[in-house]
Amino acid sequence: MHIADITMFYAARSGGIRRYLDVKHAWLQQRAHRHTLVVPDCNGCVADAATLALPSVPLPLSDDYRIPVGIRRAARAIVRLRPQIIEAGDPYHLAWAALSARDQLGARAIAFCHSDVPRLVGGRYGGRAERWAARYFRRLYREFDMVLAPSAFLVRKLQRLGLARVAQQPLGVDTGVFHPARRCAELRASLARERDARLLVYAGRFAPEKNLDVVFDAVRALGRPYELLLVGAGTLAGPIPDNARVVPFEAQRERLAAILASCDAFVHAGDQETFGLAALEAMACGLPVVGVTEAGIAEIVTPDCGVLVAPRDAAAFAAGIDALFRSDVETMGKAARAVAERYAWQPLLEQMLRRYRDLAES
């Protein structure tokens, strides 16, 4: 079977979408399936000879994301590949290119909905813009043969838009790479300012919807011995707390896993996460999580492995962190690892391959 994945969200400093595609790419090739990545041309993005780089221009205000030029050009590139399954990983013009190629080839097209774009748009531009984005989502995704979403929360939201062919497909974690054994005393000593620090970590994009201001206010209120480590890329709005520091984006998974495992707890105040892959990777490293009671993270973090609080409430978030450390953090970390093991990539990718086969044969 030949599967082609197309998305603009594939760059040198990409997050969860690239991780998902790279893992799937290697896994399918090991099983003698042909898999082609169709992504923008950018430095550090070519996985191997089975990656097709599309001509592109920089996406403003997005670090290193790029926009491929032209729907027709992208569609022609897919048609030349002649895949049986085309998966679109973003809802923009490349999704329309996937549909055009599908119609020309008589193939099947899947959309993987990784982002709650209507809510993102509404948060920035208001209710009218959110309603427009929802109508666009409905118009686009009803054209696909299947729509996948990583969480039950997002499946329900897509179904409320009137979409019928929607299925939940969780993402996964490499439980061998992200493991508590990566914890390193020397690395921890270099990351924490104080020996007795309670070292909190956030890993991901520095974007408005991550609500990092809530984390900052909570950490300021708590003071020492709490310290916050921010691992990622993007522009931070406003100054960070005195008891916080920034570590640049880490592309090497083993190094990122060592950083996570050498901390004490993972914090994430985002209330628009459609899954929570960064939290899951931290859990695989044996870290309990402090998050919020909305969206995808709330489906991953159980009461025995973390604390969930009301969204956009710095006082509640600080109280959640304090409550976590009044509990048995080590036991909660072990429970977090046990939950993460249920999201190992192998069975999830096998499930996805069955979806591809069923769709191709229908």
pLDDT exceeds cutoff 60 at 304: yes
Q: Residue 182 carries which DSSP code?
A: G
Give the count of beta carbons closer than 10 Å to the beta carbon of residue 259.
21
Backbone angles phi, psi at 233, to 5 degrees: -140, 155
Residue 161 burial (CB < 10 Å; 0-12/13-18/19+)?
middle
Label residue 268 by pLDDT band (50, 70, 90).
very high
- Domain architecture of the chain: domains with CATH: 2-172+344-361 (3.40.50.2000), 180-341 (3.40.50.2000)
Q: What local confidence, expressed as pLDDT, does residue 47 receive? A: 57
pLDDT > 90: percent of the chain: 80
Full DSSP string of 208-227: GGG-HHHHHHHHHHH-TTEE
More confident residue, 52 or 340: 340
Q: What is the pTM of this model?
A: 0.93
Which token pair is 350?
A: 């096998």
Separation in Å, CA 350 to CA 150, 170, 198, 341, 346: 15, 12, 39, 16, 6
Residue 19 to residue 17: CA distance in whole angstroms: 5
The contacts of residue 59 (CB under 8 Å, 6+ apart) are: 8, 65, 66, 67
Residue 345 to residue 30: CA distance in whole angstroms: 14
Label residue 61 by pLDDT band (50, 70, 90).
low
